[in-house]
Structures are given as C-alpha cells and as structure tokens.
Amino acid sequence: MKNSPIIHGDYLEKIKNYNDETFDLIIADPPYNLDKDFGEYNEKTRKDEWLEWTKNWIKESERVLKKDGNIFIYGIHKNICWVQSYLFEVGLDYRRQIIWKYENGFAGYNKRNLSAFYEPLLWFSKGKNYTYHTIREPYKSKERIKNKIVKNGKVWIPNPEGRMAGDIWEFPTLAGKRFASEKVDHPTQKPLSITKRIINHFSNVNDLVLIPFAGSGTECVICKQLNRNFLAFELNQKYIEIANERLQNI
C-alpha cells in the first residue's frame, strides 16, 4: 500500500486479505446494473445476482473501514434504496444522501419518462467522530459579501469564502468539448471536481483511501494530488493502464 497500487482483480475476493478497520475513507462507484459493458464485467450477465453481490461488497467494506471512517457510494435513483438499506443493515451511520446535480444538463432522453438531471451519492460513517472539513461555496451574488445584515438584532457578516454547502452539489458531467482533455475511454468516468471535494473534505493528509472499483482512476488521481495514500481494485486491465497513465502525468 506504500506505493499506492491499483490491484488487478475482483474486489470482493481480494479485500478478504485485508485486516479489519484498515481504511479511513472508502469511495465506491460500483456498476449501477444498467446493462453497461465494462469489458471484464458486463452488467447484463449479473442482473439477477446484483443485489446479493452489492450486499456482500458493502459488508466487506464495512469490515475494513476504520472506526469513525467515512464511506461514499455513487448510485442511481431506482437502485439507491437497496444500497442504503444494506448500509443500515451492516450498522453504518447515515449522514446524508447527497444529490449530484448535473451542472451541464441531463444524462439521457426518453419520450416516455422524465429526464435524469442528477445522481444520488450516499454518505455514511462508522461512528460519530467522522472526518469532515467545512465546505463553502461562493454566494450567488458577489454584492452579498459587501454588506452587513442585521437579523433578530444581531449583525451577521457574510463569510468571504462563501456560504456553507448543503446536500445538493452542482458539478458537471464530462460531456462536450469543454472536458476533452479530462475524458478518457471509460463509460462511467466521474469528474475530478466532485471527487476532489469528497477526498479533500472527508479525509486528512496521509489517510488511507480504499477505492473498490477504480475504473478510469479518477479517485486515484485526486488522492495523489492531495497527498492521500490509496488502495484500488479493478477487473479490467485496460482501465488500470489508463489510470496508471493518468497518475504518471501528475
């Protein structure tokens, strides 16, 4: 783990070799059961087993998460309820369901359904003394920080760093020419921007981050940039090569 490797293999099998309460933060971006083809893993072949598989990898993740560690899991609206129920079942503490609102539009179009403008992101902890560094976002109006506000007889001065962030996070998807330099050959690549927020505000320098499904290596890249150690797993050797190339270019 000292050299922050990306291990080729199945997370559920490999993680059994690691001790209880090893990792400070877990960021999981698992297959959503949407019939996508990830090369070594095709969701179509495991639909009937997806719930059992999800329950099992969450159970192992809880085991290796340190006391007071955080876990974040990406999901999709129609399946996130099951993921959440399994997190409760293994005894983790609910912190928030974050709504990742797509800054640059929506994903997909269907004449017989509503378009998707967001993805849910679950945040649970293993204990009450979890790591959290305050997140602030710019005020919508720059004029706001120039004025004092009196409320209930008390003077409130806007923080120059912005307002306290809530549970709706607005970040772009990697669509369009704007993100051509960041996009790689992976069907569900997450942006560096949202990943940086998670790692920066829910872990500390030199913490050990577990990435069960490395994919294109976005979490690995941010860990290296922010001086976190990490351990990642990935089934597809092609994606490991992509991730390693991104790490080498930092």
Residue 117 CA to residue 105 CA, distance in Å, equals 6
**Whole-angstrom distance, CA of residue 12 vs CA of residue 14:** 6
Reading the chain (250 residues) residue by residue, the pLDDT tens digits are 445 589 999 999 999 999 999 999 999 999 887 766 555 555 544 667 889 999 999 999 999 999 999 999 999 988 899 999 999 999 999 999 999 999 887 666 677 888 889 999 999 999 999 999 999 998 887 766 666 677 777 877 778 888 899 999 999 999 888 999 999 999 889 999 999 999 999 999 999 999 999 999 999 999 999 999 999 999 999 999 999 999 999 8
Helices and strands: H and E segment counts in the chain? 6, 12
pTM: 0.90
| CATH placement of domain 6-132+167-248 | 3.40.50.150
Residue 213 has what pLDDT?
97
Backbone angles phi, psi at 181, to 5 degrees: -75, -20
Tokens matching residue 159: 């923080």
